[in-house]
Amino acid sequence: MSTPPRQKRLTPADITALKGNRPIVSLTAYTTPIARILDRHCDLLLVGDSLGMVLYGMDTTVGVTMDMMVAHGQAVMRGVSRACVIVDLPFGAYQESKEQAFRNAVRLMKETGCDGVKLEGGAEMAETVAFLVSRGVPVFGHIGLMPQQVNTSGGYRSKGHSEAEQDKIRRDAKAIDEAGAFAMVIEGTVEPLAREITTTVKAATIGIGASPACDGQILVSDDMLGLFNEFKPRFVKHYSELAEVIEKAAEGYAAEVKERVFPGQEHTFQIRPKK
């Protein structure tokens, strides 16, 4: 009997081709088990530097390292068979020069097997985007609210409330689109502007706190799953309340251990009778 052909994973070009056809489904993933589950439902999985806050308890994404991104990129790639996988270039890994960006992008792609890299920035990063794309590195852009710039932008606040901010975001979108980005995240941006940009760029737009008119949507998977109840951004919807489920499970486990109910005999290994 012949072996069935291995399913081909979606490519960055496939993601761009979905623009205008149907909405693109995206989520973040940081581990193999979660990637394996999400892969069935997502077109694109992003190994985001948000892992610094989600998995490591950092206050911002600024402290995330290349080694962390490589390790989690490898983990996610072990769990996918369908989705396009993009890995974030962390803060400090690409801003110095386009050559630095290329070295680190190549490292991510070689060591993880991912399909491309994501970087934040608009007009100021257009030359770098073009440099990477011309050398075979697919680039996923990121405009609007840019978490890596939180220390200079006044915190996590939505963008596009003034004409000056709107003009800058328009220029940023145009610049990285013309530089060859296959897609771009539009984050924390007023809805009419995100809608407008989606109609003016060739790249696929992926919204998070942007507009339902974007070509696709992305959320941090842990937010979507309701694992964090302390803070819920306006743009997040909980599709489950796993924090409550985990809390209840831990409470039940703790009670049974204290009462010596668990483990029961069925959970232990007994000496086998001699034959």
Q: Which residues are annotated as a binding site for Mg(2+)?
A: 49, 88, 120
Terminal-residue alpha carbon distance, the chain: 41
CB atoms within 10 A of CB 204: 26
Reported as type and span, the H/E element at residue 143 is strand 139-144
Residue 275: CB partners within 8 Å, gap ≥ 6?
A: none
Binding residues: 49-50, 88, 118, 120
- Do 132 and 105 meet the contact criterion of CB atoms below 8 Å apart? yes
- Do 195 and 221 meet the contact criterion of CB atoms below 8 Å apart? no
From the list 187, 191, 251, 259, the catalytic residue is: 187
As a three-state string, the secondary structure of 95-138 is CCCHHHHHHHHHHHHHHHCCCEEECCECHHHHHHHHHHHHCCCC
Binding residues for 3-methyl-2-oxobutanoate: 49-50, 88, 118
Half-sphere exposure of 71 (CA within 13 A, CB side): 8
In 3-state terms, what secondary structure has residue 41?
Answer: coil
- Do 206 and 214 meet the contact criterion of CB atoms below 8 Å apart? yes
Let me know if 187 is a catalytic residue: yes
- Tell me the C-alpha distance between 107 and 124, whole Å: 23
- Tell me the C-alpha distance between 159 and 151, whole Å: 15
Cis omega before residue 263 (within 30°)? yes
- Residues forming the active site: 187
